[in-house]
Structure 1
């Protein structure tokens, strides 16, 4: 039997609003790779790569894309079993709202592109130059 829609909506609604503060074991991380079986490789702000498990309430409800952001809850080293270092406690869906929070890492700042860096005109979407143009 399928899960009730209210459970799906509750999980989706929970991920839209960021928490007011993080616990010492929680951190925002960027998803690098889906490893399978609800396991994901994530990059922490200190450039450490960790293997985390998706919480059961999000499985088959919310999909996480590579390059997206998640809130991970890392387990203390003395409680760690195997290679899994923590759990995905929340999925960042409304990134704009999350970026306004004071705990958003500066390492994950939005990349801005300067137009001053490109001196040449882009050739994207243009036909290649023909050889007969200079032979008149």
Structure 2
């Protein structure tokens, strides 16, 4: 049975706005890939990678894709002897608002999309004409 709609909406609304500050032990991380069973591989600003767990309240509610950002609580799983290094406590949905906060890591700079000098912008996305393909 799916969760009640009000719980889904409350969880979605909870992740929409960034908190005023991160608690001790919490870090922003980028998702590298989903490894299965609600376990994700993330990269911290220090370039360290770790496995983190997605809690039940986010499962089947908010979908995350590779390259998106999450807040990881690294102190949540201390004392447990396993490969997990933390749990996801929040999901960055409005990245523009989160980037304006003072705690956003400087290492996660938004990369502009550049067109190389070889590619002429007028030819990008065009199919070669029959004369050009025969040459």
In the other structure, the counterpart of 2:59 is: 59
User: What's the offset of the Cα at 1:32?
Assistant: 0.1
Q: What per-residue deviation string (whole Å, max 9, x for no partner) do you get for residues 4-57 of structure 1? A: 111101110000011111122101100000011100000000000010000111
Query: Is the partner of 2:41 in helix, strand or coil?
Result: strand
Between Structure 1 and Structure 2, whose CA radius of gyration is higher? 1
Residue in 2 that maps onto 1:111: 111
Q: Does 1:126 align with 2:126?
A: yes
The unaligned stretches of length 5 or more in structure 2 are none
Q: 1:78 to 1:86 in 2, by over 3 A?
A: closer
Secondary structure, counterpart of 1:87 in structure 2: strand
Q: Which has the higher helix share?
A: 1
TM-score (norm 2): 0.87
- Change beyond 3 A, Cα 1:78–1:68: closer
RMSD of aligned C-alpha atoms? 1.9
Distance 2:11 2:113 in 1: 35
Task: Report what 1:31 is aligned to.
Answer: 31
For these two proteins, the number of residue pairs brought into alignment is 131
Q: Is the 8 A contact 2:77 2:84 kept in 1?
A: no
- Which residue of structure 1 aligns with residue 91 of structure 2? 91
Distance 1:9 1:78 in 2: 31
Runs of 5+ consecutive residues of structure 1 not aligned to the other structure: none
Which aligned segments of 4 or more residues in structure 1 are displaced greater than 6 angstroms?
Answer: none
Query: Please, which moves more after superposition, 71-80 or 42-51?
Result: 71-80
TM-score by length of 1: 0.86
